[in-house]
Amino acid sequence: MIDLFDIKGKVALITGSTHGLGMAMAKGLGQAGATIVVNGNSSQQKIDDAVAALKSEGINAVGYKFNVTEEKEVSAAVAKIESEVGSIDILINNAGIIKRIPLLEMEVADFREVIDIDLVSPFIVSKHVAKGMIERRQGKIINICSMMSELGRNTVSAYAAAKGGLKMLTKNMATEWAKYNVQINGIGPGYFATEQTKPIRVDGHPFNDFIISRTPAAKWGDPGDLAGAAIFLSSKASDFVNGHILYVDGGILATIGKPSNEE
């Protein structure tokens, strides 16, 4: 039974994986035996540092710098990775941004940038990676969606629109590619304890207290909590799972919450 979750020797490309949840999934898959292809676009040094951090834990890792929103760069990078590292068995579309701006104050350029990175880039990267997967009749694609694929929230309309679109893109990829033995699914993270959220994860901070009370698990998620979901969706254990969004959110989407005076 444990062989169902075996990903030893698989090549996993994870976009936006130099830090945060992308790095957490890279560590999880790497510790399970996959070769990790780290991707970023802001800095070669950040990529090198991420690769070094993974290697220090005994993980086989390499890094490639390319812009996931530029199709020519993506096409060239995918060809180079498959030539130098091996066929890409697992793709995790993790790269993304969020801009917290009220709709009436948001410029069209800001809205388009979020859509371009959070929705268009998974299409571009998946398109070029899936070609090889379809030829080989085997592959796993995981799109990192969000609870905002299901819920609205003030000031993050562009992000929610992109992630809602990514949920449906995931289902439509599955509709078209499942017959080639390619499984396409999504992971919807809840609120996680990362470097970005560290300043607000303090007792008494309004948002921290809100998240603790709103989450049935009554805590922030540990980035490592995503590893199990990523390994499942990367392995044979999920060979008949397609077009599904797996929410790793401590139960937030299971409930409307509770009054502040209710235990």
157-187, pLDDT tens digit by residue? Answer: 999 999 999 999 999 999 999 999 999 999 9
Would you call 191 a catalytic residue per the annotation? no
In sequence order, the 6+-apart residues with CB closer than 8 A to the CB of 232 are 5, 238, 246
Range of the domain at 77: 2-251
Place of tokens 């819920």: 151
Mean pLDDT to the nearest integer, 22-46: 97
| % residues pLDDT > 70 (the chain) | 97
Is 140 domain-assigned?
Answer: yes
d(CA 15, CA 21) in angstroms, rounded, equals: 11
Whether 263 shows a pLDDT value over 70: the answer reads no
Q: pLDDT at position 139, please?
A: 99
Is 166 domain-assigned?
Answer: yes
* Number of CB atoms found within 10 A of residue 71's CB: 16
Is 260 domain-assigned?
Answer: no
Is 101 domain-assigned?
Answer: yes
Query: Residue 261 — pLDDT band, cuts 50, 70, 90?
Result: low
Q: pLDDT at position 250, please?
A: 97
Say which CATH number the domain at 24 has. 3.40.50.720
Query: Residue 1 — pLDDT band, cuts 50, 70, 90?
Result: low
Is 261 domain-assigned?
Answer: no
Whether 258 shows a pLDDT value over 80: the answer reads no
Is 259 domain-assigned?
Answer: no
The domain tally of the chain equals 1
Query: Per-residue pLDDT tens for 62-117?
Result: 999 999 999 999 999 999 999 999 999 999 999 999 999 999 999 999 999 999 99
Spot the catalytic one: 159, 180, 191, 247.
159
- Compute the half-sphere exposure of residue 257: CA atoms within 13 Å on the CB side of its CA: 9
Is 257 domain-assigned?
Answer: no
Among 158, 153, 166, CA closest to 97: 158
Mean of per-residue pLDDT scores for the chain: 96
- Any bridge partners for residue 247, and if so which? 188
d(CA 143, CA 127) in angstroms, rounded, equals: 13
Whether 260 shows a pLDDT value over 60: the answer reads yes
**CA-to-CA separations, 162 to 5, 51, 138, 151, 152, in angstroms, rounded:** 31, 29, 27, 12, 12
Is 262 domain-assigned?
Answer: no
Whether 195 shows a pLDDT value over 90: the answer reads no
d(CA 127, CA 110) in angstroms, rounded, equals: 25
